[in-house]
Amino acid sequence: MEIILRGVFFLTLLHSVLVNGQIYDVLKFGAKGNGITDDSKAFVTAWKAMCGSGGNSKTFLIPSNKTFLLQPLMFQGPCKSPSVQVKFDGKIVAPINKAAWSENKLFRWVSFKEIIGLTVTGSGTIHGRGSSFWKQLHFKSCNDLKISGITSFNSPRNHISISECKRVKITKIKLVAPHDSPNTDGIDISRSSDVDIYDTIIGTGDDCVAINNGSMNINITRMNCGPGHGISVGSLGRDGEESIVENVQVTNCTFFRTDNGARIKTWPNGKGYAKNILFQGLTFRETKNPIIIDQNYVDKGRLDVEESAVAISNVTFTDIRGTSQVDEIIKIDCSKVTYCKDIVLDKIDIATVDGNKPVVECSNVYGKSINANEANGCFKT
């Protein structure tokens, strides 16, 4: 009996040490945190222990003052707890050697999948080292997702990808990469709805936010964007794809030396629609292409025959001011198949850096301009 009791006491003590109540500290599961040792297995073990434990909310702790080297891995749900928090206060780094990624065919580094009520918060940093071309943080089918406080440096590709998620809040994050980084979007959104992004700083060399197919009810506000390619709806309709985007609001954001500002881009011969889009209260500082709708977006050459296009309608640009590095402050290049419809330019005040007269270029557009003198004569009626 004494041996049994001692065994029970030991197991209870061990559980307390490893878990510390509802906190699952990766160090207690064997992680070293020295930036050299591969800590992937310890992270997975801690996650499985936490995710498989029922009861009240659980916390997966990545402690401060430690650097954790991680191979590509996935945190899989669903979890037994109704809510899960990743307390991210340390630093994680990617492998430098590309060979370490050879078995990852999905081009993702750290993934979270099918976790309801997930919160990722803390003062930690993620360093992709820019050594390959994988997406840094990927969230798929994570409803009621919250991300706050974290910083991401030098992602090899997209910093944060949101796919097939509902009810997402992203706030007070910082995403950073060199201005000449290729294909390093800050936040990519696809097939997701009710996404709120606010009070963020993103300068990654590519789109600060890319709103892709299947995105609905997207709200972006109080973002500092740049350097990079601005905030984009699209690209949509590539290779004849049917794309749908609707109910997008981008408000009270500042763009600094971005190659584009507020942009909608679609490929020729696509299908579907992008509608009910608002760009309001934007400030541009030395931005190229401040306002642009491009329905002839192609990487290599143009198609000879356009038979279809993603239909663009009910798009408003209002209360927009600042400076442009180029003379062309507005370009609305729409499809001759579908045209752009119900486009509104209201209270546009953008000056060129060199003092030249601003230029507006429009084609195949139905809409109206209000207090935007440069755009007079731009629209069909």
By annotation, the residues acting in catalysis are 229
Dist CA 252 CA 323 (whole Å) = 16
Q: Is 41 helix (H, G, I), strand (E, B) or coil?
A: helix
Task: Reduce the DSSP state of residue 45 to 3 states and report it.
Answer: helix
Contact (Cβ atoms closer than 8 angstroms) between residue 232 and residue 211: yes
Distance, first Cα to last Cα, the chain: 92
To the nearest 10°, the Cα dihedral for 296, 302, 304, 306? -20
Q: What is the DSSP letter of 20?
A: T
Q: What distances in angstroms separate CA 324 from CA 207, 312, 359, one per listed residue?
A: 18, 25, 11
- Beta-bridge mates of residue 370: 346
CA angle 302, 306, 307 (to 5 degrees): 155
Residue type, 299: D
- Specify the residue for token string 């809510």: 83
What residues does 34 pair with on adjacent strands? 67
| Burial zone of 319 (CB within 10 Å; 0-12 exposed, 13-18 middle, 19+ buried) | middle
d(CA 231, CA 253): 10
Yes or no: say if 28 and 13 are a contact pair by the CB < 8 Å rule.
no
The H or E element that residue 51 is part of is helix 40-51
* Residue 20 CA to its chain's centroid (Å): 34
What CA–CA distance (Å, rounded) separates 346 from 231? 19
Among residues 225, 243, 223, 224, the alpha carbon closest in space to that of 233 is found at 243
Tokens (6 digits) for 350: 């953008």
Token pair, residue 221, equals: 């506000």
3-state secondary structure of 4: helix
